[in-house]
Amino acid sequence: MKDLQQNAIAVLNKNWKDKFSIPCDKLYPFQWFWDSGLIAIGFAHFDMPKAEKEIETLLDAQWSNGFIPHIIFHTDTDTYFPGPDFHRSNLHPDSSKKFKSTGMTQPPVTGFVLQDLYRISKDKKATLGFIESLIDKVYKNHEYFYTQRDPQNEGLVYIYHNWESGTDNSPIWDDIWDTMNPPDYTFERRDTTHVDASERPSKREYDHYLHIIEIAKQNNYNDEKIAELSPFLVQDPLFNTVLLKSNQSLIDLYGMIGNNEDKIEQLKKWQEKGTAAVNSKLYDAELGVYIHYDLRNEKPLRHISSSSFTPLFANLPSETQAKKMVDVMMEKFGNPDQYLCASFDPTSDRFNPKKYWRGPVWINLNWFLYYGLQQNGFKDIAKRMKQDTLEIIKKNGFYEYFDPRKEEHKNGKAGYGGYNFSWSAALFIDLLN
Ligand code: 9YW
């Protein structure tokens, strides 16, 4: 494993571009929000200045309203579609004057990442000083979410695009696509020139993705208009868990820094309300797990995905809920012939073990679940989650996603998508240490 750790370090150093990291070569040549945060956790184990720079660069691209974009286009390249000329996020009056970016966001990992840097740091004082220098930006990002992304003041924030979820091609979104009928756009895909098309979304799926952005652009990315008009408006359990976990981290970190009582008080209010709302609105007692809610069409999306179990990561479930949820996880996803944890219910007919978010194992989701299980006292299952994660990387390398079926791993060709993928390397390092 120690050799592999050296390989992981080499992957991160190779994907480092002076002040930020790319998720992987060719397929994803820019900086992505949640990738950046998770990558910083890996760097923190062996190169704290790079970890800090990664976060500094990310926050440098923050808009004046507190919003942080999902992709920051640091360079011009035509190997990625849709690029900055399609997104045109500068239509929004508060957008960054310094960086080109998309006009959508991603799971707000920054708060808990700062706390992870502190956990890993060997020089706590210096790291706390670093955190103090930019924690207010993260607070402002949370304020953006609670004031602009919660139209009914429920304590839950919405996402307006599947690319905001991070779980971009989940079968859950099929329910939303059924409610839409976008034009048949003409465009040139780039992803399928780098990766086998069978592992990526279809042309028709891309039509839906682009259509939602067209509507946002027609309204200059105005949040109120998006809440009113976007055909995709979803309260996502993973996204809200990440926000609540980060809230808790900000409370802890402000507590350590001192003199921030007002902010702590506000964060606690968001925290209380959000926790109650996740448990009442997003918990499905019959299924025994957390699910997504379609705010546009006012209906629950009753599917089980790896996101369904992530509230463990922010300690949101009660003991009874947690127990039930882990039973469901083991019953549906825990088959000994499969690695933990498939990204979508392996017993569903929408499950596809090779296709992008429709079944494959993702290292970041396994990492959330490992810590969630561990924190909630499920030590044995946490151990299996960690061992499975390390083993699939050992057998295949640092791929973007992996086949959950063990038999596919015999010849070491069960890794799919991008290769030498940064967060797979970064979180591997964190799990090893
Ligand atoms: C895309 C970069 C991103 C991740 C997302 C993942 C994928 C990008 O890659 O989306 O172009 O499809 O779904 O979570 O941030 O690694």
Distance CA 73, CA 99 (A): 7
Mean pLDDT of 261-290: 98
Q: Whose CA is nearest to atom 11 of ligand 1?
A: 28
The residue contributing the CA closest to ligand 1 atom 16 is 23
Q: Is 285 domain-assigned?
A: yes
Residue nearest to atom 12 of ligand 1 (CA): 168
Q: How far is the CA of 166 from the centre of ligand 1 (A)?
A: 6
Task: Please give the pLDDT value at position 385.
Answer: 98
What is residue 77's predicted lDDT score, i.e. its pLDDT?
Answer: 80
Distance from first CA to last CA of the chain, Å, rounded?
11
CATH code: domain of residue 243: 1.50.10.10
Q: Is this complex scored with an ipTM above 0.90? A: yes
Ligand 1 centroid – CA 113 distance (Å): 19
What's the 81 CA to ligand 1 centre distance in angstroms? 12
Cα–Cα distance list, 398 to 180, 369, 409 (Å) = 36, 19, 14
pLDDT at res. 144? 98
Q: How much of the chain is in helix, strand and coil states, percent to nearest 5?
A: 55, 10, 40
Determine the Cα–Cα distance for residues 144 and 137; give it in Å rounded to an integer: 11
User: Atom 4, ligand 1: which residue's CA is nearest?
Assistant: 166
Q: Residue 191 CA: which ligand 1 atom is closest?
A: 11
How many residues are listed for the chain in this entry? 433
- Mutate which of 80, 163, 190 for ligand 1? The one with the most ligand atoms within 8 Å of its CB, which is 163
Residue 368's contacts (CB-CB under 8 Å, 6 or more residues apart) are 238, 241, 310, 313
**Per-residue pLDDT band at 294 (split at 50, 70, 90):** very high
Domain count, the chain: 1
194 pLDDT tier (thresholds 50, 70, 90): confident
Amino acid 267: pLDDT: 98
- Residue 162 in any domain: the answer is no
CA of 314 from ligand 1 middle (Å) equals 23
The amino acid at residue 387 is Q
Q: Which residue has the tokens 């992981």?
A: 8
Domain contains 344: yes
Any domain includes 287:
yes
Q: Whose CA is nearest to atom 14 of ligand 1?
A: 166
Distances 105 to 145, 360, 395 between C-alpha atoms, Å: 10, 23, 33
Task: Name the pLDDT band for 199 (thresholds 50, 70, 90).
Answer: confident
For residue 340, what is the enclosing H or E element? none
The token pair that represents 403 in the structure block: 């086949």
Q: How far apart are CA 176 and CA 234, in angstroms?
A: 9
Tell which atom from ligand 1 comes closest to the C-alpha of 200: 12
Q: How large is the average pLDDT for residues 188-214?
A: 89
Whose alpha carbon is nearest atom 5 of ligand 1? Answer: 166
Confidence band, pLDDT 50/70/90 cuts, at residue 197: confident
The closest-lying atom of ligand 1 relative to the alpha carbon of residue 423 is: 16
Q: Is residue 201 part of a domain?
A: no
- Ligand 1 atom having least distance to the Cα of 169: 13
Long-range contact pairs involving 46-53 (C-beta distance under 8 Å, separation at least 24) = 46/9, 46/429, 48/117, 48/121, 48/123, 48/127, 50/16, 51/117, 52/117, 52/130, 53/19, 53/20
The mean pLDDT of 181-205, rounded to a whole number, is: 87
For CA atoms 120, 313, 65, 24, the dihedral sign is: positive
pLDDT in tens, 72-105: 999 988 788 999 999 999 999 999 999 999 999 9
Q: Atom of ligand 1 at shortest distance to CA of 106?
A: 15
In a domain, 93, yes or no: no
Structural domain of 56: 2-78+107-156+235-432
Q: What is the pLDDT of residues 25-43, one digit of tens each?
A: 989 999 999 999 999 999 9
- Which residue owns the Cα nearest ligand 1 atom 6? 166
CA of 148 to the centre of ligand 1 (A): 24
The residues carrying an active-site annotation are 168, 400
pLDDT band at 193 (very low <50, low <70, confident <90, very high): confident
pLDDT for the residue 42: 98
Task: Tell whether 364 is covered by a domain.
Answer: yes
Tokens of 81: 């579609």
Question: Residue 184 Cα, ligand 1 centroid: separation in angstroms?
Answer: 23
332-387 per-position pLDDT tens digit: 999 999 999 999 999 999 999 999 999 999 999 999 999 999 999 999 999 999 99
The pLDDT value given to residue 188? 87
Residues with CB under 6 A from ligand 1: 23, 28, 32, 34-35, 166, 168
* Rounded Cα distance, 407 and 411, in Å: 9
Residue 223 CB contacts under 8 Å (≥ 6 apart), including other chains: 148, 149
- Ligand 1 pocket, mutate which of 11, 21, 32, 102 (most atoms under 8 A from CB): 32
Tokens 């219910």 correspond to 345
Sequence-ordered strand ranges (E) for 171-298: 234-235, 283-284, 289-290, 292-294
Q: Which residues pair with 292 in a beta bridge?
A: 301
On average, the pLDDT of the chain sits at: 97
**Amino acid making up residue 43:** F
312 C-alpha to center of ligand 1: Å? Answer: 23
Output the CA angle 378-376-309, nearest 5 degrees.
Answer: 85
Q: What whole-number distance in Å separates Cα of residue 166 and Cα of residue 106?
A: 6
CA angle, residues 156, 157, 163, in degrees to nearest 5: 140
**Minimal CA–CA distance to 281: which of 316, 313, 246?**
316
Residue 408 has pLDDT above 90, yes or no: yes
Q: Is residue 225 part of a domain?
A: no
Ligand 1 pocket test: which of 25, 168, 366 has the largest number of ligand atoms within 8 Å of its C-beta?
168
Q: Provide CB contacts within 8 A for 254, sequence distance 6+.
A: 135, 260, 263, 264, 267
